[in-house]
Structure 1
């Protein structure tokens, strides 16, 4: 008999935990945001982000891997009938292209307080569909470059300051000699 993995699982058995995560991922892609417990949201986030990364690649192998996880059902919206509007199709044709410029961080978890019945901490997990502005990306890259160069610049500036002080005192001495 194989030894089970350590730590608590959602729903008890490993099979039930994976089923819960598959259902949560399907609901997330169907509705765009779901309210669940913080623990489930934290466990769902890496699963959903991996699925979106696979959908962005878009080749047949990755689509089949996504199909193993996402339940391919039609949405519950009456205005979108037909098989072309399944959750899998929506993930590949709508969600993945919206995330094309984003390198990661496809989902966002927001804590919303505790549930009334059992006081369980709740959270909203949602897809981040806002486009990445190029200005933010440039600012972040500049901040990273400044952080990397700051220790190097401080080390380079320290020896340069001492000769600069001597040069200033020499210039001041020459000026005072000219005035006499």
Structure 2
């Protein structure tokens, strides 16, 4: 039984796992997106999200703490300069995991893990959708009522126009 054992060992020794997650976190910060297996992505999410939270407070102590995890100067600089500015008012949930299917060689479940605020395609689509009213499908009855309502609107406009013409004639 594995009661209370919440971290996935990923079939590696502790040192190998720590080095792998450190490298993956640095790559995610530098490239904003990473393709990997779902198990590694979930482990990486638990590893990198506290670092992203810590980057919101730009102090020497937090930089040194993050460097102890990442071991890469460029990644720490990128994290504190660019990434932290974008995630400043986000309360959490900095990463997104998108499943992409199965790997050909061993049929492992693959995914893309990315930083949420850096996917321009999704940001553009949610921005456009936020302005438009969402519609729901509720069966044929609702569609008929919408069509009838749309047909009644021009009729109302016609009656207003004829009333105005009558006033102009007087």
TM bin, normalised by shorter chain, reads 0.5 to 0.7
CA shift for structure 1 position 10:
2.0
User: In structure 2, what is the equivalent of residue 55 of structure 1?
Assistant: 55
User: In structure 1, what is the equivalent of residue 26 of structure 2?
Assistant: 26
Report SS of the residue matched to 2:42. helix
- 2: distance between equivalents of 1:53 and 1:25? 14
User: In structure 1, what is the equivalent of residue 115 of structure 2?
Assistant: 127
TM-score by length of 1: 0.60
Gaps of at least 5 residues in structure 2 are 131-170
CA shift for structure 1 position 7:
7.3
Q: Does 1:103 align with 2:103?
A: no
Partner deviation per Cα, 1:44-85 (whole Å, 9 max, x = no partner) = 112111111111111111110100111325xxxxxxxxxxxx
Change (3 A) 1:33 1:8: closer
Change (3 A) 1:72 1:118: same
Answer whether contact 1:10 1:16 (CA < 8 A) is retained: no
User: In structure 2, what is the equivalent of residue 145 of structure 1?
Assistant: none
* RMSD value, Cα: 2.2
- 2: distance between equivalents of 1:112 and 1:129? 20
Change (3 A) 1:8 1:108: closer
Partner deviation per Cα, 1:122-179 (whole Å, 9 max, x = no partner) = 010000116898xx8xxxxxxxxxxxxxxxxxxxxxxxxxxxxxxxxxxxxxxxxxxx
Equivalent residue pairs, number: 118
Gaps of at least 5 residues in structure 1 are 74-85, 137-180
Change (3 A) 1:95 1:7: closer
